[in-house]
Structure 1
């Protein structure tokens, strides 16, 4: 299209100037000091995204708690139960990309509303399922929504918060996942102590309907980011609307591929470590602490502290050094678990660094992906890259299981964890450092 209209020319000039401007050096500061300086609009967006992600984590983690009950009640196999989890992750990958495209088309806030309502309704329907296949379908559709919620929320909070505090704010939103995980553990303990198991698992899923109430708050109090509103106005004036394949254009293809490799490394490593370690430690090391509530609490606490620490460090050190630091830490903890001899007591305390490194690495993802893509396709780019990583990473547990027949489970976990975090480090080194970048500077 002709870009020589006055508005387009002005926008192009502004983008060119911004592209040559250095990134802001006003980064760092305490983890929460920025909140006191935030506007009421920014605070409302922050809490809506944080609570949304907390409830997202709560609903998503419910399956892992009820699998033993489903196996006993319905007589399904562990493979059948595992397939529910795999299909949920694959559906979430598709949902994340679709939500990213929608957020570019209809808005970040509206997409957030739709995805929260979607995953809440289908979580509730999981509790009404009368058969394995009904649960499988409801859970897959729930996954479609929770993948979309992450994308919409990450883009929204990334655009609302100023550049120097973006990493801390987005990371604090991400930390809501650990809180939601902890809430699920508490709800599970309460419900299964007062109700029969065949009723308690249904009640747990039905509690997952509560996030739907958040939609009312979002609809009333949260507004679209200014940068998105300006972008939409410019598109309307020039009739230049983005296509959903624009992230694969020659100008953005390299960024899209490298960012997807970065997220694949993070998520592949996470699934490699967390999926098979309990089985490895129980069957080959004969440790029993993994099945205790205390060990789970230690991992959840470590995850929460990891999210918070990474939120601070991604603004203090920079996006790339922070990724590399947490990747190396994750590789080290994977080596310790699979190669060193340890007691139940040692294993208990190692739950903290396991949660710290494997989960904390995700705190910087939202801010980094927000800064890598221009506003016109930020949702599409962020949704695709994060969720293709989730889809590929979801295959790692299956591949580890297959490889373990030849090399043993411990060695297979170590191989895949090292490979995954190695890919992340290489991708991080090749991508630009974006700490402090104003979003206009990323414009196409």
Structure 2
């Protein structure tokens, strides 16, 4: 990876700038994964202290995600107007301040408000970070850059899984939220050490562009591309959230795994996802975005069906890693693909709007899987989940353009 960073600078960017842009973007997305996972860990303690009902506890997660969708749209547009670095710093700072305020919550409603506003900040980080990283890196290494940013989420999730069980008993849920103030330091460093990408500066010198949202549907070809990318992002999030929420339950109910054992098997699946993301970036820069997507989509569909038939503990461990590799590995290429499909005037908007709309649809994954599992079985439901990747393949073949190696416009 270090060699890639050294040689990865895009036109007008130094290797040092490319490296700093990548680090800042990756840290932003890591906070997204870290925050959502620690919230899940802390919900029982929060509910006990504040006397929350199960519905109220669930609402804290729901309104964080709603805030993320709205924040993605808002800050994506602002980033295309005012700059990647400036607005990325705003989103990190907003997230940090309101996460810290959660530590002072006295009841459901003020905590809900803090979570919603923190979600606004979280939602902006993915698309802005992806736009910043891909604009700073050269065309031949663009998919690798986006895969490294995507790995930030996995790093944040793994860090939360490791530190929350250790810190939560010591500092409580209020202390955990107080730790969330730390990203404000990241925002300060990003803002002080990074300038805007050269391609954005050059565009900013020209006449004011139309509303960025309008550029996502400016003509029939662009509209088809936007629809295709929305489907890909929706399937990505639907499969990810569906599997991650229900996998421990599946292992526990069908095979009687303890919480510790289920967590270990799930962690191996997460490591498989991280390997898949890294591999996708390497592959997409060598053979193209569309061939890589189709290969991973086939792998996802097949591995889900195979996994649903496994019963041996060792086979489940290996099968989970393989399934994770394909199901979430495609995340490594969306940043590059979206960057190449839209101009600089709408790049961050496209990243945030399409991904966060997909995340909104993907949020129904656990619900749909829960309903199907209650009617049939977890094994059959996991197998049926493979069908969404067949839809993915159809959309990729007929609607997704191939832009590997092309200069950004």
Q: Given the two structures, how large is their TM-score scaled by the length of structure 2?
A: 0.90
Change (3 A) 1:407 1:253: same
- Residue 132 of structure 2 corresponds to 156
Q: How many residues align?
A: 401
Q: CA contact under 8 A between 1:108 and 1:152: conserved in structure 2?
A: yes
Counterpart residue number, 1:118:
94
Any residues of structure 2 matched to 1:378-393 within 5 Å, and which? 378-393=347-362
Note if contact 2:34-2:153 (Cα within 8 Å) is conserved in structure 1.
yes
Q: How does 1:21-32 map to 2 (within 5 A)?
A: 31-32=1-2
The root-mean-square deviation of aligned C-alpha atoms, in Å, is 2.3
CA contact (8 A) 1:276 1:413 kept: no
- Which ranges of structure 1 fall in alignment gaps of 5 or more residues? 1-30
Q: Partner residue of 1:28?
A: none
Q: Deviations over 1:4-31 (max 9, x none)?
A: xxxxxxxxxxxxxxxxxxxxxxxxxxx5
Report if the CA contact (8 A) 2:76-2:350 is conserved.
Answer: yes
Is 2:77 aligned against 1:105? no
SS of 2:206 mapped into structure 1: helix
Q: For 1:169, which of 138, 145, 161 is the aligned residue? A: 145
**Which digits, 9 at most, give the CA deviation of each residue in 1:87-131, with x for residues without a partner?**
322321221121111111111111101111111222222333232
Cα deviation for residue 75 of structure 1 reads: 5.4
SS of residue paired to 1:177: helix
Match of 2:286 among 316, 324, 331: 316
Larger radius of gyration: 1
Q: What is the CA distance between 1:229 and its match in structure 2? A: 1.5
Tell me what 1:360 maps to. Answer: 329
Q: Deviations over 1:355-404 (max 9, x none)?
A: 33333220101011000111221122222111111111111222222333
Identify which of 118, 126, 132 aligns with 2:108. Answer: 132
Task: Verify: 1:84 aligned to 2:84, yes or no.
Answer: no
Map residues 326-345 of structure 1 onto 2, 5 A cutoff. 326-343=296-313, 345=314
- Counterpart contact for 1:263–1:424, Cα < 8 Å: no
Which segments of 5 or more consecutive residues in structure 2 lack a partner in the other structure?
A: none
Partner Cα distance (2:30, 2:315) in 1: 30
Alignment partners' CA distance in 2, 1:146 and 1:181: 14
Instruction: Find 2:202's aligned residue among 215, 218, 230.
Output: 230
Give the conservation status (yes or no) of the 8 Å contact 1:319–1:434: yes
CA distance in 2: counterparts of 1:367 and 1:268, whole angstroms? 21
Shift of 1:422: 2.2
Change (3 A) 1:306 1:289: farther
Q: Is it true that 1:215 corresponds to 2:187 in the alignment?
A: yes
Q: Aligned partners of 1:77, 1:270: CA distance in 2, in Å? A: 27
d(CA) in 2 for partners of 1:293, 1:419: 26
Distance across 2 between alignment mates of 1:77 and 1:240:
48
Aligned match of 1:435 in 386, 404, 408?
404
Correspondence for 1:287: 257
- The aligned counterpart of 2:37 is 61
Q: Quick one: structure 1 residues 256 and 412, their matched pair in 2 at CA, closer, same or farther if it must change by over 3 Å? A: same
- 2:379 pairs, out of 410, 418, 428, with 410
Instruction: Give the conservation status (yes or no) of the 8 Å contact 2:268–2:320.
Output: yes
Higher RCO, Cα 8 Å, sep 6+: 1
Task: Report runs of 4+ in structure 1 exceeding 4 Å deviation.
Answer: 71-80, 289-293
| Distance of 2:237 and 2:263 partners within structure 1 | 25
**2:106, 2:358 → 1: CA distance?**
33
